[in-house]
Amino acid sequence: MSVAISIRGAVKRFGGVTVIPGISAEIEDGEFFTLLGPSGCGKTTLLRMIAGFNSIEGGTVSFNGNVVNDLDPGKRNIGMVFQNYAVFPHMSVAKNIAFGLENRRVPKDEIARRVDEIMRVVQIEAFRDRLPSQLSGGQQQRVALARAIVINPDVLLMDEPLSNLDAKLRVEMRNAIKEIQNKVHITTIYVTHDQEEAMAVSDRIAVLKGGEIQHVGRPQAIYQRPANLFVSTFIGRTNVFECELEGDALTLCGSVFKLTELDAGRLPPGRARVRASIRPEEFFITDGDGVRAVIDDSIFLGLNTHYFASLADGSRVEIVQESTIEEILKPGAEICLGVKQQKINVFDESGGLSLMKGVLGGDAG
């Protein structure tokens, strides 16, 4: 039985230091929900509050409406996967997986059946009697995952489970995790600092900074309509410009762009200074009108070519173009930059508030 999780004004203090001043989030039954943020943002702290390894100093955490604040971790029916796997080094793979079932006094033959089944799901049936020291990192992580899932937990908690794996294995394992989660359909809370990983696996992502949620939404919404400047710079790469906005006319380095996606209700009156975020791939090099720029350098990465260029006012921009068969532009070449206008994001001068339509709508998931 999977559960919906509701976090209401949860507070965490370590001694006198408040790490989480009060977080609220609703996680739906069966959802793959990711806590994403830079190190020290409180994501692991929050996960451990949900698991019960950290105490909760204020607010509530509830599973299906039942407050679990004071329930021991062992009684919350959670499955947890740790960053360093935390497989028991002295037990074989099968014994590791059976451990939770034995604690639940499941009959022996059923334990054997369920262990076999889950080993097939995570594809480690060949290593049944091996000790963890004889397994690779990826295999150990599969054991840890199997051990967490086999008890049919109400919620699966994963704390940076892939950060100890090498890049190639990380991609392979995150696909496996997503596939397994789809199959067993357990509410999953996943902590990571890797935004690409978060987008690959999540139904919804909560971006955290300084113990507060900056933006909750589907991966696409978070990438394309970030709630504030921090989210837009943390997720993916972007260029930020100081611009002026009057009505729907954005003036960027002398060129004027008409914007159609602005939220009229949030626009500042008259002519105002704003910040615009334009991602490298939202520029295109054009012969027609646009912002004048001079190429400084280029990097060829196969699929794409990255250009670094300077604008007339001295600001530097990064541009990504699909690689073409023609020659790569040389440093010193003068170009004209167009922008895919509906993709531009505009924020107020402090960067704290998006002026775009559809930002809040993205929450609905």
Site for other proteins, rule CB under 8 A: 51, 53-55, 72-75, 77-80, 82-84, 86-90, 99-100, 103-104, 144, 147-148, 151, 157
Least separation in angstroms between residue 244's CB and other proteins is 51
CA dist 166 → 86, 143, 257 (Å): 18, 17, 43
In the bound state with other proteins, the residue whose beta carbon lies nearer, of 97 and 335, is 97
In the bound state with other proteins, the residue whose beta carbon lies nearer, of 188 and 277, is 188
- 210: part of which helix (H) or strand (E)? none
Least separation in angstroms between residue 218's CB and other proteins is 29
Least separation in angstroms between residue 319's CB and other proteins is 39
CB-based contact 155:50 (threshold 8 Å): yes
Least separation in angstroms between residue 105's CB and other proteins is 10
Least separation in angstroms between residue 156's CB and other proteins is 11
Query: How many CB atoms within 10 Å of residue 326?
Result: 6
Read out DSSP for 95-153? HHHHHHHHHTT--HHHHHHHHHHHHHHTT-GGGTT--GGGS-HHHHHHHHHHHHHTT--
Query: Which pair of structure tokens corresponds to residue 177?
Result: 């995790």
Q: Helices in the chain by DSSP H: which ranges?
A: 43-51, 93-103, 108-121, 137-149, 167-184, 195-201, 219-224, 229-234
Least separation in angstroms between residue 231's CB and other proteins is 30
In the bound state with other proteins, the residue whose beta carbon lies nearer, of 50 and 229, is 50
Query: Which pair of structure tokens corresponds to residue 66?
Result: 């039942």
Chain centroid to Cα 247, Å, comes to 34
Query: How many CB atoms within 10 Å of residue 218?
Result: 17
In the bound state with other proteins, the residue whose beta carbon lies nearer, of 75 and 258, is 75
In the bound state with other proteins, the residue whose beta carbon lies nearer, of 76 and 215, is 76
Least separation in angstroms between residue 362's CB and other proteins is 33
**Alpha carbon distance 12, 56 (integer Å):** 6
CB-based contact 231:238 (threshold 8 Å): no
CA dist 347 → 66, 77, 176 (Å): 39, 43, 37
In the bound state with other proteins, the residue whose beta carbon lies nearer, of 91 and 285, is 91
Least separation in angstroms between residue 153's CB and other proteins is 8
In the bound state with other proteins, the residue whose beta carbon lies nearer, of 37 and 161, is 161
Q: What φ, ψ does residue 325 adopt, rounded to 5°? A: -75, -20
